[in-house]
Each structure stands twice: as structure tokens, then as C-alpha cells.
Structure 1
Amino acid sequence: MRSPESTAGVQFALTSPEFPEGGAIPSRYTCDGDDVSPPLEWSGAPESAASLALVIDDPDARGFVHWVVYNIDPSASGGLPAGWSEDAEFQGSNDFGRMGYGGPCPPSGAHRYRFRLLALDTMLDLTGAPTAQRLTDAAAGHVLAEAQLNASYRRAR
């Protein structure tokens, strides 16, 4: 990764209006609810960013991937609304074996979820249903900045 760009002293950040950093993901965004993607907002993206890429994974399940999205417009007003994944282009395959968002659905106990947003100096030329690894490989050498949001989820049983 290259040295992160400064955006007039503003740090690149990823947040959600539905849960705080380190907080619990509401069940609406999981397999126990509507299983729609949560709303996400960012700020401080480098001005030279051509696109953003997002990967959500579960480090407690060997990095199980829940969502891969790329070529997001960094100037998108308001970020990504809840349920955005249903109609979106430029999505990859998740580890559930399908395209788009697959919400948290841990087998037991609380699991952590890592939302990683990359600011890139290029659009990614990916075809088919790229995996998180293919996205990461394509982004290598093009990352201007990275923002991360961490959350958790425990199923009620």
C-alpha cells in the first residue's frame, strides 16, 4: 500500500448510522432478519480516488466473506443505503456461494465482522463474480487509503 493521502487533515472513515464502531449489528441485516446490507457512510476519501472497494468478512470464521463490492463512486452522496446490494452492479461472490450481500449468520457465539473500504486510484476491471482475493489482487498497488468499521453479531437462540 502506498502512503495514505491526506485530505486536508480529514481521516478516511467508514461508519454506519445503524451501529457504532465495535457495536452489535442489528438483526435486520443478518440471516435472522431481512438479510439486507446495512447502510454505510464514508468521509475523508482522498480527492484523487477514482473508486472505492468494500469487503466484509468474519475473522472468527477464517475470513468468511460476506460481501464484495467494487467501483463504488467515491463521491456518492450519503454512502450506501440499506439494501443497496439488491440492485447493484460490480459485486463479487461471497462465501455463501452467491453474488451480493450475505448477512452475518454465525453458527454459535458472537462473531466479529470487519468492513474494509479501500480508496483506489483506478477503476477495477474485474469480470464474472470476483472473489475478495481477486479484488485484493487487482487493487494491489492502487490503494490510496483504507477505512475500517468493526462490529459483532450473536444469534438469539
Structure 2
Amino acid sequence: MFCALVALGAACLSPTVTAAPNAFTLSSTAFANGGLIPRVHECTSGGGNDPAKKNESPPLAWSGAPAAAKSYAIVMRDLDNNNLIHWVIYDIPAATASLPQNVQHVYQPPVPAGSRQVYYRGSASLYGYQGPCSPSTVNTYEFVVHALNRASLTTLNNTSSTQTAARAIAAASIGTARMTGES
């Protein structure tokens, strides 16, 4: 603090304090970071008839993204299974800061408008979210939201692989936020 004598009193000037920018964060109302992913978000493939498993994507919300973000993408991986990619959704408009539960399993879901999903090729073949499928082990699943430097990933289309999409997203990423869940 700098103080100077001014007329009959002292005037003190405080140094300029610049607030740190908000941290880019990702959260879900379905589970806490590092917590147990509810069964409604687990896959329906792999045998068994558990009615609680519905393969619904969890609701996700993010805040504090870089101001330069022109769109968003989310990549979900199974960290305990060779980083197997379970979900890629991209071209999420910059004005969007959340996804609802159960994003429709189509290439171009109606919500969020303008977004696209990659076709998952595995135990279940479908567009979009493929929930945790670890019947005999507890695995860690990572959700990463990427702030992207472009509004659309025009090199991707409805036949792009999850790996190709993940590389394109990483190349356009200007910031990330992540959370994990166990299942």
C-alpha cells in the first residue's frame, strides 16, 4: 500500500488487485467428481437384465471456459481399459454450457442443436454415449470438456472414428475441464 501526505491528512492508495480468472470446471448433478456413476448411466449391453441400467448420458455442466471458445466438445474415456473412448460429442455451440441427461443416440441430436456425435463401435454399436460396461471390475471414467478455437470441426463426419474425432478435438482445444466417475 502506498500512502502520501495530502493537505491535512494522509491518502493511501491500494495496489491494483486483479482477480484470477474463473477456473474452467466440469460438473454433473448425477455424481460428484471421483464418485460413483449411477447405474442409469451404465451400458445395457453385456448380458443381464438390470432394469436400472439405461445407457443414458449423465447431465453435465461447465463454467469458466476461455472467452475465445467458439464451440465445445466432450470426450469420455475408460481410463482403466486402454483409454477406450466411450463418447464423443462435438460442435456444441459456444452459447451452451450444459448437456441434459440422456442426449439422444443420433448423429445430430436435437439437443444441443447443432451438435454431432461419433458412432461408437464396440459391444453396442450406436451414435453417442456408451455408458460404463465393466461387469467384473470398477473402472474410472473420465469426462473432458474441450473449449475449441473453431465453431465446427468440418473435417469430421458421420463415419469418423472416435480416435479421429479425439485427435481433431485435441488439435482445436484451447482449454479443458475434466471430471471422473467410478463404475
Q: What is the TM-score normalised by the length of structure 2? A: 0.73
Please give the residue correspondences for 1:78-93 in structure 2 after superposition, counting only pairs within 5 Å.
79-86=98-105, 88=109, 89-93=115-119
Q: Is the contact between residue 93 and residue 129 of structure 1 (CA under 8 Å) also seen in structure 2? A: yes
| CA deviation string 1:94-139 (max 9, x = no partner) | 2423321111110311000010111001121111232232123223
Separation in 1 of the partners of 2:61 and 2:170?
Answer: 24
Q: Is the contact between residue 105 and residue 126 of structure 2 (CA under 8 Å) also seen in structure 1? A: no
Partner of 1:124: 153
Asked which structure has the greater RCO (Cα within 8 Å, sep 6+), the reply is 1
1:14 to 26, 29, 36: 26
Separation in 1 of the partners of 2:169 and 2:86?
Answer: 19
Separation in 1 of the partners of 2:121 and 2:73?
Answer: 17
Please give the residue correspondences for 1:91-106 in structure 2 after superposition, counting only pairs within 5 Å.
91-96=117-122, 97-106=125-134
What RMSD in Å do the two structures reach over aligned CA positions?
1.9
Partner of 2:88: 68
Amino acid at match of 2:118: G
Choose 88-97 or 62-71, whichever is displaced more.
88-97
Partner of 2:8: none
Amino acid at match of 2:102: G
Please give the residue correspondences for 1:141-152 in structure 2 after superposition, counting only pairs within 5 Å.
141-152=171-182
Structure 1 residues without counterparts, runs of 5 or longer: 1-7
Separation in 1 of the partners of 2:121 and 2:25?
Answer: 26
Larger radius of gyration: 2
2:38 to 26, 30, 52: 26
Separation in 2 of the partners of 1:66 and 1:74?
Answer: 23
In percent, how many aligned pairs have the same letter? 35
Runs of 4+ in 1 over 6 A off after TM superposition: none
Q: Is the contact between residue 113 and residue 152 of structure 1 (CA under 8 Å) also seen in structure 2? A: yes
1:86 alignment partner, SS class: coil
Q: What is the TM-score normalised by the length of structure 1? A: 0.84
Please give the residue correspondences for 1:50-69 in structure 2 after superposition, counting only pairs within 5 Å.
50-69=70-89
Structure 2 residues without counterparts, runs of 5 or longer: 1-19, 44-49, 110-114
Q: Does 1:109 align with 2:137?
A: yes
Q: Looking at secondary structure, tell me which structure has more strand per residue.
A: 2
